[in-house]
Structure 1
């Protein structure tokens, strides 16, 4: 039987666990000076003109230097990504991976317009926002100080992140993540229900991906 931190890690759903593990390994590698942030950020020219094809992936795993802001983002991302994967996407790992992948592609397209070299933080706000929209009446206690309902959670966290960083740059980046999360929620929960009445490729993953994740035989 796994004990301690091993038991805690194995209890995290697989998609969230993989993302969390890669984010921690990336920050540790930078802290140990095995790589530098300049080798990981995303730019279209570096990735697709200079052939550095790892950049569209590594940009989603670097949350900044290990600090209070890093711990803040990692904690809330892990908490709500795990809750979302265990509830709305229980036994549907491919669906959750597909949701995050489509949001990642949208963020890559937005990156040049908003000058976003690292996209980990805005992508981390996607599951937070998505969870808050699917649980609109759930009360949330923030640090035991104030209680709000779930739809206000992402914006309360953005304000707190702004206080930690002291700059609106981080807040704007996280707001873009909320906007992408809203698009994902709208396409999955509103569009399929009210507009066309059924799933589309934007909401349901390909069968090949479901087989890869073992969701279908």
Structure 2
């Protein structure tokens, strides 16, 4: 019964959040079991373009380090804010959510070409947190019972916490920068005088991920009137005055 409950809970997680967090956990487990090594996963432009190891464009977003506090901390925030975005402002807009993933990953990869960054999963998590926080500006947050603040400060609090742990803040700053670029182009610029929507989700993503909406004006005939007989009144016709 417990297994069935866990399976039901797992299947209840939105599709994109479920796929991404599962891929992260499986990748980390594979490294922990020594089926893979981080050297096969990290971002390396030379190996990607010269050796055609194109999987590194994806795997560098899936590995958060060995099992430990940092891994679980990142996974909790990734799962929480990815799910809240998918169930909140992206509800019913899976294609747009996937496009945000692709847009953010593309910008981070471009930056990675000019910087010595090996894994970008943490930056991606911060990007998700940033977008959520800007779309929920009035929510009060509490960080480990020590700090109380409004949601837009959350990415900066996480960056400060990362700094206290002795980590470089470059990854966090990258996530914040990419998150702000997406938020500005998607939520701010289109609402400015003369502004317009620049981030347009490709139609093929909508075909794959979004179910077609039903025509609200579609009014099917009752089953006993599927075939109009001669002399039958059109059901949509107004009665004569």
Scaled by the length of structure 1, the TM-score of the pair is: 0.92
Check the 8 A contact 1:89/1:95 in 2, yes or no: yes
Q: Distance in 1 between matches of 2:142 and 2:6?
A: 26
Unpaired runs of at least 5, structure 2: 214-241
1:70-89 Cα deviation digits (max 9, x unpaired): 11111011111111111100
Distance in 2 between the 1:73 and 1:195 partners?
A: 39
Q: TM-score, normalised by structure 2?
A: 0.83
Aligned length, in residue pairs: 212
Q: For 1:196 and 1:205, how far apart are their aligned partners in 2? A: 21
* Cα-Cα RMSD: 1.6
Choose the corresponding residue for 1:212, options 204, 208, 231. Answer: 208
Instruction: Give the structure with the larger helix fraction.
Output: 1
In the TM superposition, residue 11 of structure 1 has moved relative to its aligned partner by: 2.2
Question: C-alpha deviations, 1:37-81, integer Å up to 9, x for none?
Answer: 000111211111111111101111011111101111110111111
Question: Who wins on radius of gyration, i.e. which is larger?
Answer: 2
TM-superposed CA distance for 1:132, in Å, is 0.5
SS of residue paired to 2:192:
helix
Q: Secondary structure at the match of 1:114?
A: coil
Q: Conserved in 1, the CA contact under 8 Å of 2:92 and 2:210? A: no
- Measured after TM superposition, the shift of residue 216 of structure 1 is 3.0
Work out the CA distance in 1 between the residues paired with 2:58 and 2:194.
33
Deviation at 1:196, TM superposition (A): 4.3
Residues 1:196 and 1:216: Cα distance change in structure 2 (over 3 Å): farther
1:1-217 equivalence runs, <5 A: 3-164=4-165, 166-167=166-167, 169=168, 171-194=169-192, 196-200=194-198, 203-216=199-212
